[in-house]
Structure 1
Amino acid sequence: MTFRCARAVATLVLALAIQAGRALPALANEGVLHVCSGYSCAYRTALPLSPGFRKKLAGIMAPGAASAQAERKALARAVAYFERAATARIGVKDGPKGEIGRSRIYGQMDCIDESSNTGALLRYLQEEKLMRHHESRPAASRGAFIDGRYPHSTAVLREKNGELWAVDSWYEPAGGAPDIMPLAEWRKRGVGGAR
């Protein structure tokens, strides 16, 4: 088995662990959010959750109260704001996507880091009652090589009507808008590495 294949299998195993809820960064009692980087959460950096941070997120999320669609638009802005704050704290601006050869580099993020971080933000927004139309759900994965797709993971939202939504921030550099789409559509994508 090549290093590349072994690394991909390890990434898939970790994605399944995240999906089961065992590897998610959690909100700590000290008022911090732990931000993953270095691929597969090799490093965790504490991001303090100050009153100013919450106030900024509340302002970003306020227009989302109008509808589920408006809330998803607000969530895209909240994820972008969170990523800018997280990478400023880390001191490294993560680029779009990720490359296998970049693992164990502090500040660089693969889809496991991205889905973990976005999922942690979604749980924070839910706990702070800043989401009205959605709730955070465990991460989801797609791809298994034999189907022509590299294993990939995303954060997930459940709309109050039951529809599941992917919140995938991996394709853009830190601070870029995440892809937010129905999870069923997201699961069909990724053939040949395409978005």
Structure 2
Amino acid sequence: MALQQIVEQTVIGLGYDLVEVERSAGGLLRVTIDLPWAPPQADEAAHEQFVTVEDCEKVTRQLQFALEVDGVEYRRLEVSSPGIDRPLRHVQDFERFTGSVIDITLKAPMGAAAGGQVSANRKKFRGTLERAENGDWQIVWSDEVVIKPGQKVSKKRAPAPVHVLGFSLDEIRDARLAPIVDFKGRGGTSA
């Protein structure tokens, strides 16, 4: 059985989602897991759960056994959560993180598709992930300059235009959650 299949069966069998399997130099086998996601129901409050150290330990023990049984060669096994810059690989990932700020890298430049307001050779974008009306995806962003506390701003200054770039999953080389850290804590307000 192939490595990907062994890892996928083991992780899913334990009730987790497999995000990524990566072989690195020196025999390192890195497995990234996440908790399963289901769209919230109308009467259900959305509350995010996170992978714990105990979850990673449980998957590690089971994977060590499964990999040994199938004779997979590796020197070190590392099981972890996806972190704040979680990769988005499947349609379900995009559905789960709709409304979140993401970073995408396209396979080919698509600046002309954004109304000519974006550099024609640009491939990397950061913005809010949204579902487009045609069923594809889009990323929405503004090149608004962040105003520092105490900085004077002209009242005549025009707001920065909002850009929208539509894309299909086939056009993406890499997509990840943007690693934005809020030091005010979860659910805190920015004042």
Q: TM-score, normalized by length of structure 1? A: 0.26
Q: TM-score, normalized by length of structure 2? A: 0.26
Which gives a bigger RCO, structure 1 or 2 (Cα 8 Å, sep 6+)? 1
Which protein has the bigger strand share? 2
The structure with the larger Rg is 2
